[in-house]
Each structure stands twice: as C-alpha cells, then as structure tokens.
Amino acid sequence: MPPPVVSSVSPNQGPAAGGTTVTVTGTGFTGVTSVRFGAKSSPAFTSSSTTKITARTPSGTGTVNVTVTTSGGTSTQSVPFTYVPAPSLTGLSPAEGPVSGGTTVVLTGASFSGVTAVEFDGVPAASFTVDSSSQIIAVTPAHAAGPAAVTVTTSSGTSNALNFTYTAAPSVTGLSPNQGPVSGGTTVTLTGANFSAATAVQFGGVAAASFTVDSGSQITAVAPSHAGGAAAVTVTTPGGTSNPADPNAFFYYAAPPSLTGLVPPSGTTAGGTTVTLTGSDLLGATAVEFGGVAAASFTVDSSTQITAVAPSHAAGTAAVTVTTLGGSSNPVGYVYLDTPVLVSVEPDLGPADGGTVVTLTGNNVAAATDVQFGAVTASFTVVSPTQITTVVPADTAGPVSVTVTTPAGTSNGLTYTRLAAPNI
C-alpha cells in the first residue's frame, strides 16, 4: 500500500489547549493507525472514508504539520495547523471610571486576534474595537461601584482578569467659609462624598489655585481669583463631576459695600420702620447698623438692595452702614424723630367757609407730612421745628380736631371751631 496523502485540514487553527475537532482530507486513509499534530497524536480520531478523517487536536504551540499514518506509511505533505494561544491582558488605561459607564478604555496584552467578547464582571462592553493583536479599545458598560474583572475572549479561550474600578460621582454638600475676595487666596474646606482620587476642583469653572484631598469626604482648596458674585464649586474624579447645581456656591465680593440711599430717610425713635437701602456690592451682608445699633432684622434682596427694620434709637441722625466680608460701607444718615406734639392753635376759631391762616405751635413738627382739620387735609408750611402755618379748609360748621403727622407718627389733637355764618 502506498503511504497516505494529506491535502488539507479544516479548521487549520485552534487553541493551544487542544480539543478542536478538525476534518483531515486526502487519500489512502485505509487502516489509519494515528493522526499526529506535530509530535503529538490526536487523542481521538475517526476515519469515515478513505478520503476523510475527523480528529480532535491535542494541546500544542505554534504551527505544526498534520500527518496521517497507515500500514502503508506516514504522509509527507506539509499541511499546517496553527495553535493560537489564549489572549492575555497586561494593562488597562484608564483603570477606573464612573458607575454610569461610557469610559473609553485601552486594553493592552497579546493574542487579541479573533476577539469575540470583552466583558466587565461578565457584562459585555458597550462596544469594542480590536486595533491590533496587542490592543483593544473598549467602552465600559454601567456597573455598580467597586472593582470589575475585565476579560477578553477569543476562539482560543478567555484571558486572565484585570480589575477596572467603578467610582461613584462626587458630591459637594458644604463649603467653609463660603465667601472671599475676588483676588482669591481664601482657604476653603469642602465637605461631601466620593472625593478620593479627585483630579480637579473648580470655582465657577476656574481651577482652584491648589487643593489637597484630606479624605473621601473632605478637600482643602485655595480659591482662585474670580469675577465678583456667586461661583459654583465642583469636584471632578474618575467617577465624574459633582453637580454644579448643588446649592454650594462660593461668593466673591468685589469691594466694600457702598450705600447711596434710604427710603424712607426717617422714622420714629421707637424703631420698627421698614427701610429700603440701595447701593452696590451688598450681597453677603453680615450686618446692617443704625448709629451702631444692629437692625432689628434685614434681608439682602440683591447686590443693590437690602430691606431692613430700624431698631429703636434716640432722636437725631443715625449713621446707617452695611458690613460684608469686604468691609463696611460709607454711612448714610437716617433721622430718628420723636412723635409730634401740638401745644396751641392760633386763632382757634374762624368762619365755616375756611381760608383762615392758623399758626400751629408745638414740638417735633419739622418733618410734618400732613396737617388735618378733622378728616380734611389742609395746606401747610413748616416754619421751624416748633411752628407750622396752615390754611383752614372749607367745611361745615362745628369744632374739629387739628393734628400734625410726621414719619414718627401723628400728634395729639387740638380743637379748632368753625363758625357758621348768621342766617338773617
């Protein structure tokens, strides 16, 4: 019998561990005694005809020649079978990312040909591209926080595992202090969660002058210079960036506050008058004072307006000031007034049709805003802090109460009698 002839083997490659079922074709396959892959015999084979053998590969490495032996001899043709090693991983870059997934990771290693899967803890990568036999670009799927074993699978098997760490996004819950000058330089303590491995701290989009990660829940940062106003503070880690919409803004004050006006400009010594202060750089106000006495309360409406309630104070002019971390404002005078008091009305009677010029004498009437005869408003002129001249309005006959009103209140009433004309 002539020796057998081997013409092909299909498939012509398989894993180094062996176990691949291949079909060997050729001629003279009568009485086959062995099928060899290099120096190793197939652990199992079946000769289904004189031209076809089904064999299972032994383990091996590299490219080997497939031979068939019968009683007529051994084939001598060069028919290769290539052992493909299982893939191996040597590196991941980056090796961590957010739990939401979406991180592009470069996998390096060997034997990446014919990759069928890239998995993160058994979860398929969102996508992957085999760049070469030693590099794969994969996009991470979503995963719970913590390490995830990354593996690559080919027809030759599954690689060793390398850990990719999933990190939860950081969150900022507090700043201390929460304001400072536009020139920067304020040391600020940030509190929150998931600060480990922080790569950036920003104030309104501007990188902190420096920062130190004290723990997973605390960072010490130095505020950079910045335009005036509120600046959202964010922390970035491989897990993502904290939410800038969190109510944790650092306020930059540009200069000491300034005051331009008070409405009303005066009120009673008892306090309680609501006063609107206007000016600039009023945000972050820490104090509003009337003559050195703290306002009963105040609300910062905007950078140009504060609403304050005047405290009680002795009569006279009190300097109103606003204080922020930037300093204290210029003073603006607020006049405290005693309640007006009427002492006399001269003359105290006149015709019912009005028109009589009357002199009102009393105290604290300089800031008069209204003179009334009964319920009727009269025209008037303030002559001095103790005297007003007024014209009696036309009205029906009879006695009426005359009063004077100032921002400090309304005076006592004195009687003025209007005489009806005689009926002849």
Nearest-Å Rg of the Cα atoms of the chain is 48
Say whether pLDDT at 122 is over 80.
yes
Give 247's pLDDT tier (boundaries 50, 70, 90). low
pLDDT (0 to 100) of residue 367: 87
**Residue 369: CA atoms inside 13 Å, Cβ hemisphere, count?**
12
Residue range 319-338: average pLDDT? 91
Least Cα distance to 66 among 50, 86, 82 occurs for 82
* Residue 191 token pair: 């509190």
Q: What percent of the chain has pLDDT above 90?
A: 74
pLDDT (0 to 100) of residue 139: 97
Say whether pLDDT at 245 is over 60.
no
- Chain position carrying tokens 């396959």: 29
Which residues touch 118 (CB under 8 Å, ≥6 apart)? Answer: 107, 124, 125, 128, 136, 138, 150, 151, 152, 153
pLDDT (0 to 100) of residue 37: 96
Lowest-confidence segment of 130-144, 245-259, 354-368, 374-388 by average pLDDT: 245-259
Say whether pLDDT at 100 is over 80.
yes
CA 148 to CA 96: how far, in whole Å?
10
* Residue 118 token pair: 């890239």
Q: Which residue has the higher pLDDT, 421 or 20?
A: 20
Say whether pLDDT at 262 is over 80.
yes
* Residue 255 token pair: 């200069």
- Beta strands 13-15 and 80-84: pairing type? parallel
* Residue 127 token pair: 């996508």
Q: Is the peptide bond before 80 cis (omega within 30 degrees of 0)?
A: no
- Beta strands 21-27 and 52-56: pairing type? antiparallel
CA 29 to CA 6: how far, in whole Å?
9
Least Cα distance to 393 among 402, 405, 385 occurs for 402
Give 396's pLDDT tier (boundaries 50, 70, 90). low
pLDDT (0 to 100) of residue 421: 64
| pLDDT, tens only, 273-290 | 999 999 998 987 999 999
Name the DSSP letter for residue 197. T
Dihedral angle, C-alpha 336, 342, 347, 351, nearest 10 °? 90
The residue count for the chain: 424
pLDDT (0 to 100) of residue 371: 97
- Could you give the angle at the alpha carbon of 32 between the alpha carbons of 29 and 33, nearest 5°? 160
* Residue 113 token pair: 């040909």
Helices (H) and strands (E) in the chain, counts: 0, 50
Which residues touch 418 (CB under 8 Å, ≥6 apart)? Answer: 349, 350, 351, 352, 354, 392, 395, 396, 397, 398, 399, 400
Query: Would you tell me how many other CB atoms lie within 10 Å of the CB of residue 212?
Result: 12
| pLDDT, tens only, 36-94 | 999 999 999 999 899 999 999 999 999 999 999 999 999 999 999 999 888 999 999 99
Domains annotated on the chain, with CATH: 5-84 (2.60.40.10), 88-167 (2.60.40.10), 171-253 (2.60.40.10), 258-337 (2.60.40.10), 341-419 (2.60.40.10)
Q: Is the peptide bond before 11 cis (omega within 30 degrees of 0)?
A: yes
* Residue 301 token pair: 């409406």
pLDDT (0 to 100) of residue 380: 97
CA 265 to CA 318: how far, in whole Å?
10
Say whether pLDDT at 157 is over 90.
no
- Chain position carrying tokens 């009680």: 312
Residue range 188-212: average pLDDT? 94
Q: Give residue 367's region: left, alpha or beta (phi > 0; psi -120 to 50).
A: alpha
Q: Which residue has the higher pLDDT, 226 or 107?
A: 107
Q: Chain-wide mean pLDDT for the chain?
A: 92
Say whether pLDDT at 3 is over 70.
yes
pLDDT (0 to 100) of residue 181: 82
> What is the Cα 55 distance to its own chain's centre?
65
β-pair partners for 337: 268
Q: Is the peptide bond before 3 cis (omega within 30 degrees of 0)?
A: no
- Beta strands 162-167 and 96-98: pairing type? parallel
- Chain position carrying tokens 């995963």: 143
Say whether pLDDT at 248 is over 90.
no
Residue range 168-188: average pLDDT? 90
* Residue 305 token pair: 């307006």
